[in-house]
Amino acid sequence: MSKRKTKFMCKDCGYESLRWMGRCPGCGEWNTMNEEVEVVRKGPRGAFQHTDEVQQKAVPISQVETIEEPRVETELGELNRVLGGGIVPGSLLLTAGDPGIGKSTLLLQVSSLLANQNHRVLYISGEESIRQTKLRAERLGVLSDELFIYAETDLERIHHTIDEINPAFVIVDSIQTIHHPEVKSAPGSITQVRECTAELMRIAKTKNIAIFLVGHVTKDGQIAGPRILEHMVDTVLYFEGERHHTYRILRSVKNRFGSTNEIAIFEMLQSGLKEVLNPSELFLRERSQGGAGSTVVASMEGTRPILVEIQALVTPSSFNYPKRMATGLDQNRVSLLMAVLEKRMGMLLQAQDAYIKVAGGVKLDEPAIDLAVLVSIVSSYRDSAAGLSDCFIGEVGLTGEVRRVSRIEQRVQEAAKLGFERAIIPSSNLGGWDYPEGIQVIGVETVSDALKVGFSQ
């Protein structure tokens, strides 16, 4: 027996209320309160949950026996690195991204690779029929007897199918289409997404099955559904990219079994996604020769250094308030660096519009890119090109000093590998490591020193 209870829940933050309100008290957004039907179960378990589990007892942590479970590596080395070395059995992974970005394509390719390694894989499609999935699999060359396709949205039937097939990996595409038979809300609602994810998490942990969930995103780029969804899963992967570009970035923003902020880069082809093994060369391939406003920085994405080009365009403004626009960077950070140039270097940028862009569609958010952004702004303002073979690395403080950054050795080695002749870095990063051959490492203490070195050629 169960009792139904009606409540209102915010779709953005999960705030609950007994009555509808136009504005959510939790996050302050308007028209986000949706009616949900809560099912209060009087029994300890649901209708289709198994009761053959042994209740665990609390034990001292010093007496817990640990077993090192081997990770399952796919043939996609980029994906293995983002996951921290491979897929952990029994983990729950969430992959989110814009519509048409390639989430289903990536997971179907991963399913094929795992099936070719004699792992039984169950691909559950809630958005396509079996024939539609087969047509896409034929286009990608995904055919294996160990890969099972199942088109279903009922969680009870999915549970029974998992018990029947006993797969090692399960892909659910997507979690917003699955519905719990005991919850009367519509599929995709906050209650349905939370209850279905909780049940799939229990299946993953008790049966030691790695489950991939595909999640939709909102117009703001956030994962649709309650925020608790990201807390429940073990790993959150964002699939990023632009429709007009063929390159896709898989970014790890949460990983309980590895490093966060790792990225993998793929190229979208007719036959599927292909790994990009040298992203630095890719992002610098179309760099203009000797153009003003262009600099190169060695940014760290997780454990990997990547060289990217930063472009700036500074032009006189025709309005009372100059425009500041940044693509791939924090706009507030750009305004801060321009204020440093005005105060410490005496440059009159108050009447200048500034447009800053990271070439290639990459998003950078670490402080080590400050010096390269600042030099690119000065280069465009002076209409004078910085050194074509120079790489700028460093954080800029409010007093105009250039501060040390982490992993400077890996950054400089990546620059030397691609043929750069000079690396302008903070003076505090000079000691304690061996400089690579073929590149001159120059330390600077202030922004003024960096500009003198950068425009000396």
Q: Which residues are annotated as a binding site?
A: 97-104
Q: Which amino acid is at 408?
A: I
Please answer whether residues 248 and 256 qualify as being in contact, where contact means their C-beta atoms are separated by less than 8 angstroms. Answer: no
CA 147 to chain centre: 27
- The amino acid at 61: I
Peptide bond into 335 cis (omega under 30): no
| Rounded to 5°, angle at Cα 92 from 90 and 95 | 145
Of 134, 117, 16, nearest in space to 72 by CA? 117
**8 A C-beta contact, residue 178 and residue 213:** no
Q: DSSP label at 336?
A: H
Q: Please name the residue that has the structure tokens 């030397």.
A: 416
Binding site for ATP, residues?
A: 97-104
Separation between Cα atoms, residue 457 and residue 454, nearest integer Å: 7
**If you write DSSP's letter for every residue of 385-422 in order, what string do you get?**
PPPTTEEE--EE-TTSBEEP-S-HHHHHHHHHHTT--E
Helix (H) and strand (E) counts for the chain?
11, 21
> What is the rounded distance in angstroms from the CA atom of residue 455 to the CA atom of residue 375?
9
Q: Residues 377, 354: contact at Cβ < 8 Å?
A: yes
Residue 82 — φ and ψ, nearest 5°? -65, -35
**Residue 256, both tokens:** 């309980």
What phi and psi, each to the nearest 5 degrees, are found at residue 48? -115, 15
What is the DSSP code string of 283-297? Answer: HTTT--SS-TTEEEE
**How crowded is residue 303: how many other Cβ atoms within 10 Å of its Cβ?**
12
Provide CB contacts within 8 A for 309, sequence distance 6+: 283, 284, 287, 294, 295, 296, 358, 359, 360
